[in-house]
Structure 1
Amino acid sequence: MIRTLDFLAAFFGLLLLWPILLLVIVIGTFDTGSPIFIQTRVGKNKEPFNLIKFRTMSVETESVASHLASNSSITKLGAFLRRTKIDELPQLINVLKGEMSLVGPRPNLLNQLDLIRERDCLGVYNVLPGITGLAQVNNIDMSTPELLAKTDRQMIESLTIRDYFKYICMTVTGSGSGDAVK
């Protein structure tokens, strides 16, 4: 049932939000020259996939977890996109493709070995990663691997349809700050 909800929400979300997506692509082209950011992340069963986002940092920024990136690398447009969470909208394509869910553990980078180890021990990779989840709405980011993995496991064990919509609504209305940037 969740996969059906994911597919329908992603499909209609992209259908309704395409003007915003197009506008960000145009403005982003002037901002960084490369408005789309694609990064390999760890997915279900630890399979790598290409996560799609709007670029919020300068093109030269090293590919590291957000909490390890410098705040000075975030562009003015990027700050707005992060604050409004518009930078996450292209991930609806990942949801359509079945690589992600709207709600699930945020997919980490391949080089985040401490987090991979913690999540692997708790079976977090048995589910699709998500655009948002319990950790995100509670401001738990990838800088605390053990806490994040435990929170992800808690969400997986207790996720209901009600929680699914609650986490989406909380994210859309501004709860949680996502991954912190130093």
Structure 2
Amino acid sequence: MYRVFIKRLIDLVLALCGLIVLSPVFIILCIWIKLDSKGSVLFKQKRVGINKTHFNILKFRTMYIDTPKDIPTHLLKDPDQFITRAGKFLRKSSLDELPQIINIIKGDMSIIGPRPALWNQDDLVDQREKYHANNVRPGLTGWAQINGRDELEIPIKAKLDGEYVKHISFLFDLKCFLQTITSVLKSDGVVEGGTGSMKEDKKV
């Protein structure tokens, strides 16, 4: 019951409330991004959704418009050169993810779930398949996010996503949500230009 109906209802209610309450923040960030560099305010990118379908994830643009497309930041050579001044703050604070509230309202995403892989991240998608982690809506945040984020190697990230899928419940989602707030305030696990630095024996 929770997985099918209640979780989606909670997502919809919280996302709509969040969009209303955070609308002044949206406006301020949109103005800053537009003044900081050329290009659109929002950035769209094809990601893997529930049951390996594709959707366009929304983010505030944090990179210059000539940045190579569809390449994870950690695979870019010297990624700092592509990140705008506003983008550095947005990525560090995770505010660049706010437009995904719209993805949640549309039903592309959930508040809590595995972070959506890029459409061409076959290694991560394949690893998640072993744990049935492709069979749920991807999330704005999730169990892997609060246990290492960018520092996690792909097999460990997929395993954590599998643990989430296995134990989905209201209390587990609440735990992920509350710990996300702490992680964001500390900027835990944010690594530009590198990933997989956290080995399994360091996992919390």
Q: TM-score, normalised by structure 1?
A: 0.93
In structure 2, C-alpha distance between the alignment counterparts of 1:75 and 1:111, rounded to whole Å: 25
Query: Could you tell me how far 1:163 is from its partner in structure 2?
Result: 2.2
Query: Could you tell me how far 1:12 is from its partner in structure 2?
Result: 0.2
Specify the structure having the higher radius of gyration (Cα). 2
* Equivalence for 1:39: 45
Kindly indicate whether the alpha-carbon contact (under 8 Å) linking 1:140 and 1:147 is maintained by their aligned counterparts in 2. Answer: no
* Cα deviation 1:32-91 (Å, max 9, x = unaligned): 232211100000010000000101111111121122231222212111111221111100
In structure 2, C-alpha distance between the alignment counterparts of 1:49 and 1:29, rounded to whole Å: 25
In structure 1, which of residues 58, 62, 67 is the aligned counterpart of residue 64 of structure 2? 58
User: Structure 2 matches for 1:1-182, cutoff 5 A?
Assistant: 1-33=6-38, 34-63=40-69, 64-69=71-76, 70-141=79-150, 144-173=153-182, 174=184, 177=188, 180-182=191-193
Match of 1:141, SS? helix
Q: Counterpart of 2:172 in structure 1: which amino acid?
A: D
Q: Structure 1: 5+ residue runs without aligned partners?
A: none
Structure 1 runs (4+) greater than 3 angstroms displaced: 140-143, 175-179
Q: Which moved more, 1:23-32 or 1:63-72?
A: 63-72
Q: TM-score, normalised by structure 2?
A: 0.83
Q: Counterpart of 1:85 in structure 2: which amino acid?
A: S
Q: Identity of counterpart residues, as a percentage?
A: 38
